[in-house]
Structures are given as C-alpha cells and as structure tokens.
Amino acid sequence: MTKKGCRDWEPTLGLGANARIAQRTKKENASSTGQLMMDKSEKIFVAGHRGMVGSALVRRLKSEGFSNLLVRDRSKLDLKNAVTEFFAQEKPALVILAAAKVGGIKANNDFPVEFLLENLRIQNNVIQAAYENGARKLLFLGSSCIYPKFAPQPIPETALLSGPLEPTNEAYAIAKIAGIKLCQAYAREYGANFISVMPTNLYGPNDNFDLETSHVLAALLRKAHEAKMRKDRKLIVWGSGKPSREFLHVDDLASACLLLLEKYDSSEIINVGCGEDVSIRELAELICEVVGFDGDLAWDATKPDGTPRKLLDVSKLRALGWKPSIPLRDGIARTYEWFLANCAR
C-alpha cells in the first residue's frame, strides 16, 4: 500500500475484482431498478469516473448496456477550471455530477478552504455548462451531511436548512447545499431537469483507504487488516463509538441513481439510503469479525465524534419502488475482498 491509501493505481473498470462485483451486482439489483426504458445510446457524461461513486456508476451503466459513456481523466479535463469547450464539443445528453473533493471527518475539519472552494468550482462549472449546452437532464450528487446536526431522525428531505450544521463538515455541506440550490434555480428559472440526490455514508470498491482522509468504514477495514497482520492486541477507533451512521454500498447507490435518472424529474432533493444505522462501536465490531481481527477496541477520545446520528428517511425513494440489495455484512466482506486484491501489501 502507498502512503496515501491506494489512490495511485488505476481503477480497472470492468476488470478483475471490479468485474466480479459488477456481475454479482447486476444479478442482485435486477429487481431494484426493474427494466430501464432509457435510450441506451444517449451520450452520458460521468464527471468523477475514477472516484468510488463515479466508477460504480460507470460499472452499472455498462452492465445495463449503456453504450455511449463519456469520461475524461483529470489530466485532460480539470473540472475546477475550464469546462466550456469540452461541453460545447461533446454536448452530453445526460450529465452525472459525481466529481467532488470528499473526505472523512478529519480531512473535512482540517481543510475547510479546499472543501468549500474546490466543490463550488467543480459544481458551478459543470452545472452551468450542462445547461448552456443543452443537457436534457443532470443528476447532482449531494450528501447526507447537508442536514442540520440535530435534524429529526430519520432525516426527511424537508429538514434541509432547518438548523445549524455539524461544524466538522460545514464547509463541504455548504458547498453541496449551494449545488442543490443552483440545480433548483436552473429548474425554476429555466425549466432545466436538474435533480439532486442525497446519498447516506457510502463504501465499496475504489473507496479511499488513507487513514488521514478516509471515512470511517474504509479506515477501520484497513486498520483491522493491518492489526491482524501485525498480530496487534488492540485497534484504535476514533471518538467515543457512540455516534451512529447509516452505510450504503456504492453499487446500491448506482442502481438507485439509474432509477432516478429514468423516473425522477423533480428539483426537490431525494435521499438514498438503506434505512438502518449502526453505532460506530457496532460497525467496528462487525469489521473486526469480517476481517478476522480478534483483539480489543481502544477509543481515542481526542478525535471528534461529529454528528450524533445521521439516518436518512428514505420513504420517498421507497415509494418509487427501489430498495437496496447488499446487506452491510456482505458489503463489508466484498469491500475487504476488493481491498485485499487492490490495496493490501
């Protein structure tokens, strides 16, 4: 593994471990999205195709037979700067905005300038260019951290802007809220079909396993694996273990996004989650079980807990006929398999 997690290798879209995951996902999710009626030859730009979410969307779109996918590496197209020419040349019909600067509680807390600026730049550029070049639909990916720290649980979409945010991820949340508002403004002022999807905490292949910048699930998978290899007797977990989080496998998110691309045409935000949460302590225990680490957990109280609970109300999505298909334990086992194949020393 590199010092920076395993970000320097190329996600092998449609190959090896990813291909096996994609095949399994296709079978499992067949009933979640039903038969997609969309034109499979429409040009779809997936912004952020190398990230966890973007690469899951590309796998899913490919496995559903979409044949006209448009992607660009960061070295060829910097979404933070000029995108006008690219959009004018390519004129994608559909745009999925999965490009973002993302990170766990520590990274968000330590780098508010970068989280705010980079995300505002990327989303402003892409959303404006999509409209100006005639995209017929855009799907903007937000996050469950847009909701107030003490929102009612499970959190309904109507909780947006009803109270103060959790300080550890305020900069990222403000950027995402600005993206939602820009999509809604394009819809109201110009009739654009720009939708905003709020996923809960995600995990899966191509997650970031860097301990400084990752989210909790990837961090604990790596820590448990390394503790097992070193035959350590304890594993350090941040905070008190009391906060709870909802976790959705990214392949489930991809299947929900396809359904929403096909069926959801409202500028009102819509939550995507599995409807269940676990405490960080329960998550840590489950990960240790899956990985096979049988030492003790030790709690690092110098690290922040963040928001106490973040469980999304997913009744709106359920009413469209979608449900997740990857239980947490299976999802963790698969992600561990992927980590071993792609990141572990």
Query: What mask, x for binding ligand GDP by CB under 6 A, covers residues 167 to 206?
Result: --x-------------------------------x-----
CB of 161 to ligand GDP, least distance (A): 18
CB of 187 to ligand GDP, least distance (A): 28
The site that binds ligand GDP (CB under 6 A) totals a number of residues, namely: 22
Among residue numbers 47 through 76, which ones bind ligand GDP (CB under 6 A)?
Answer: none
Both tokens of 206, joined, read 């191509």
Neighbours of 64 (CB within 10 A): 17
Residue 112 backbone class (left: φ over 0; alpha: ψ -120 to 50; beta: rest) = alpha
Using CB under 6 A as the binding rule, whether residue 237 contacts ligand GDP is answered as yes
Distance of CA 287 to the CA centre of its chain: 20
Longest alpha-carbon distance in the chain: 60
Whichever of 105 and 151 has its CB closer to ligand GDP, that residue is 105
Look up residue 316 and give its DSSP letter: H
Compute the residue count for the chain. Answer: 345
Active site residues per annotation: 172
CB of 172 to ligand GDP, least distance (A): 8
Piece of the chain touching ligand GDP by CB under 6 A; list 43-51, 122-130, 300-308, 336-344: 300-308
Answer for which of 86, 194, 203, 238 binds ligand GDP (CB under 6 A) is 238
Q: Going by C-beta distance under 8 Å and a sequence separation of 6 or more, which residues neighbour residue 156?
A: 271, 313, 315
Please give the angle made by the CA atoms of 220, 222 and 225, to the nearest 5 degrees: 105
CB 25 within 8 A of CB 255: yes
d(Cα 208, Cα 258) in Å, to the nearest integer? 24
Query: What mask, x for binding ligand GDP by CB under 6 A, covers residues 245 to 284?
Result: x----------------------------------x----
Answer for which of 5, 92, 204, 306 binds ligand GDP (CB under 6 A) is 306
Dihedral pair phi/psi, residue 160, rounded to 5°: -55, 130
Look up residue 251 and give its DSSP letter: H
Among residue numbers 123 through 152, which ones bind ligand GDP (CB under 6 A)?
Answer: 145
CB of 208 to ligand GDP, least distance (A): 10
d(Cα 109, Cα 126) in Å, to the nearest integer? 26
Using CB under 6 A as the binding rule, whether residue 303 contacts ligand GDP is answered as yes
Binding residues vs ligand GDP (CB under 6 A): 104-106, 145, 169, 201, 214-216, 219-220, 237-239, 243, 245, 280, 303-307
